[in-house]
Structure 1
């Protein structure tokens, strides 16, 4: 797990005031990108199985839709490789500008795709291609956003600024679930004909907002120092695999619950509740919406706790708490009652957030600056590649267990156990950059 970690020749000067501004900018851009990305997950559970895989029976169509959903996750490590190279060689900012354009255009185009009845097999193929583009873009997005936020922040306050970027996930969920909750109020025929397309088409104006925000973000001072000292790696991702592969494995493990557990409690649960338990689709989507509201303050709180106890320890706490609650959460969902389902999804997301909120702080301190964008992006998105197929695996496990939720609960426990191990090891491997905080701006 060792690699050469050379401290900077002189400390990088960072300020709390600049850190807060950059982190907020990174959060806004990331929230808009997660909005685009999460739309696909909800649509996979409620729309694509019926309109893009029409010639399959209900269960097979759901499996096919989730497989397409998983394609985006499979593409994310490739995006991490490519944009990690851009971010570590040419700058964090250029990579973030390209990723936001890619995902915005791909998401908007999904909104104008013809369905299976219109063009046949071409419809799911085009859907898969656009999902692939989404995955490539998101593969470089999160690693860059959290890296640039952390590298602008004083060391003792990296937990809160990394957590601020993480708020992009619940806000993205809130926006995407809210958009679908609104269009689900339309008559069923109108929803299938054009209503589901509206949230995707909204990606075009949101792209303009995100691009404007990204253009105003300054380059990382840590990266600027790497350029000055000629300390950049030639092919950063390959160097991560060669010299920091142990840390990469730890990063994947530490990130798994935050990504995979989230999709278990949202995408899979929405499908399970609506397709297996027969619960109203609006109720299932609203459960994720309410959970996202509560996830925002929990993310902030967990980020502050990470500064006090360490992000690795918080990862362990969140993982063990999630594992302990797995069976009770699914028992609540199995009641089919709206209040119980909302309570289960909310509690599940809050417990997972204890680990998810600190993922950025932990992963950025696993890798030295010259490999940071690539290492963070690869670790997070390799976990994402695995996680993208968890709704598919959980759905398949339901078939094997005669639609009994204990199989899904066991899968969630296994994910939590892996992340607990990653958090425990990661806490012992943390690297601290050599930075100074400007005293006159030591306040937020």
Structure 2
């Protein structure tokens, strides 16, 4: 057996019952963990700007809150490197259990924090520390769930089945949006007093659900074969960077656009509509809910399409459309008409964001060989997330610079789309890659050749 391949005959195909279990665990697990990560963004504009970052200007408080929102992204690469290493050394499933505990506990503890009024500056410091813990867990969550799912999936359905990992992320966004929409119905005073804590405390219950579904799935057959043959590597981080420098850079650039724009659509737009355009908050939240449902519905459609035409065409189309639609998007928001605002979000979701993120799980898994897949996937993607994750903070500052206009934010979105366009242009088509191979086809040899 060569040092670069694993004998496919030694890896039996995953049975349909087990495959359904893996898909379910991926959807449920990512949904619950990303619910944890997303609700922080909603809380920034709802309560954190006044309860943890009090200033005379609520917009300044919002910017401070979005800064801590971005801290979660800044720490995600560390989570990708750390837990990616564990995932390539001890297993995909075991690592996902660890990230579940980190995400769930840190989110639940946010719901128990005293506010600035009670303990002063210690309140935002503790909040930021828990956001850092969220970032560590999130840094490996999606990469691990996608890797596990891709390594179970048959090659001809890899794009379709792995798209459900991304569907779970969007379900998490939907759950977070709906939760805060329901909490707001309790009234401003009640929300400010105690009700804002409920979405965070709910995370304690979600830990049990996520652990239940993840402990019932089998470890990746690809990893099991590598482990039994003692083919895992001692330092996956080093090998990922040494053998796949080109793909690592592609992975970074590929995730900048979708990270930046999804938080423009899903979190910043709510604050923009409410604080700058002075529209009722329900308009923005309803738009985000509609936006998210559209993305959820289209994920498997685009995933299946990528199995037919490839990952690269969909990636290129989505970033080009996102760039072209950035200025029309803010023009529609500026009409202040709910129907046109919702139309803007639906169009952005269906033709820009949905194809880009549906392809992502398979695209990243196919960039790296099996021995460093978790590390390469998680670390490269999360560096891109760190670069694009401060988007709500950048957007808030740009709106101030533009005296309430959105054109500078649109220009920022175009810039991020150009970065990802370059990454996708340099990427090879990967849909026919054999991901059971210990090394990807374009890996550098040990001597660097």
Q: TM-score range by the shorter chain?
A: over 0.9
For residues 317 and 379 of structure 1, what CA distance do their matches in structure 2 show? 22
For residues 310 and 371 of structure 1, what CA distance do their matches in structure 2 show? 23
Q: How does 1:14-413 map to 2 (within 5 A)?
A: 14-15=13-14, 17=16, 18-55=18-55, 57-350=57-350, 351-413=352-414
Stretch deviating more after TM superposition (191-200 or 234-243): 234-243
Q: What's the CA shift for 1:100?
A: 0.5
Q: Deviations over 1:311-366 (max 9, x none)?
A: 12211111111111111111111112222222212221222111011011101000
Q: Deviations over 1:261-281 (max 9, x none)?
A: 111111111111111111112
SS in 1 for 2:21: helix
For residues 113 and 389 of structure 2, what CA distance do their matches in structure 1 show? 22
Question: Residue in 2 aligned with 1:8?
Answer: 6
Q: Deviations over 1:348-387 (max 9, x none)?
A: 1222111011011101000000010001101221111112
Q: Deviations over 1:4-59 (max 9, x none)?
A: 99221344222361333212211111100011110001111222111111135323
Cα 1:5–1:133, aligned 2, differ >3 Å: closer, same or farther? farther
Moved over 6 A (4+): none
The 8 Å contact of residues 362 and 426 in structure 1, kept in 2 or not, is answered as no
The 8 Å contact of residues 365 and 435 in structure 2, kept in 1 or not, is answered as no
For residues 332 and 319 of structure 2, what CA distance do their matches in structure 1 show? 20
For residues 14 and 54 of structure 2, what CA distance do their matches in structure 1 show? 55
Say what the alpha-carbon RMSD is for the aligned residues. Answer: 1.6
Q: Deviations over 1:75-97 (max 9, x none)?
A: 11111111101100000011000
For residues 414 and 188 of structure 2, what CA distance do their matches in structure 1 show? 37
For residues 43 and 6 of structure 2, what CA distance do their matches in structure 1 show? 47
What is the TM-score of this pair, normalised by structure 2?
A: 0.93
Q: Deviations over 1:98-137 (max 9, x none)?
A: 0001111111111111111111101100100110000000
What is the TM-score of this pair, normalised by structure 1?
A: 0.94
The 8 Å contact of residues 312 and 425 in structure 1, kept in 2 or not, is answered as no
For residues 342 and 41 of structure 1, what CA distance do their matches in structure 2 show? 20
For residues 90 and 56 of structure 1, what CA distance do their matches in structure 2 show? 51
Stretch deviating more after TM superposition (395-404 or 4-13): 4-13
Give the total of aligned pairs: 432
For residues 133 and 246 of structure 2, what CA distance do their matches in structure 1 show? 29
Q: Deviations over 1:241-264 (max 9, x none)?
A: 222121111011122222221111
Cα 1:429–1:305, aligned 2, differ >3 Å: closer, same or farther? closer
Question: Residue in 2 aligned with 1:439?
Answer: none
For residues 255 and 27 of structure 2, what CA distance do their matches in structure 1 show? 19
For residues 13 and 254 of structure 1, what CA distance do their matches in structure 2 show? 32
Cα 1:56–1:8, aligned 2, differ >3 Å: closer, same or farther? farther
SS in 1 for 2:12: strand
Q: What's the CA shift for 1:229?
A: 2.2
Question: Residue in 2 aligned with 1:441?
Answer: none
For residues 413 and 296 of structure 1, what CA distance do their matches in structure 2 show? 24
Where does structure 1 lack aligned partners over 5 or more consecutive residues?
436-444
Q: What's the CA shift for 1:218?
A: 0.8
The 8 Å contact of residues 237 and 375 in structure 1, kept in 2 or not, is answered as yes
SS in 2 for 1:196: helix
Where does structure 2 lack aligned partners over 5 or more consecutive residues?
438-449
The 8 Å contact of residues 84 and 375 in structure 2, kept in 1 or not, is answered as yes
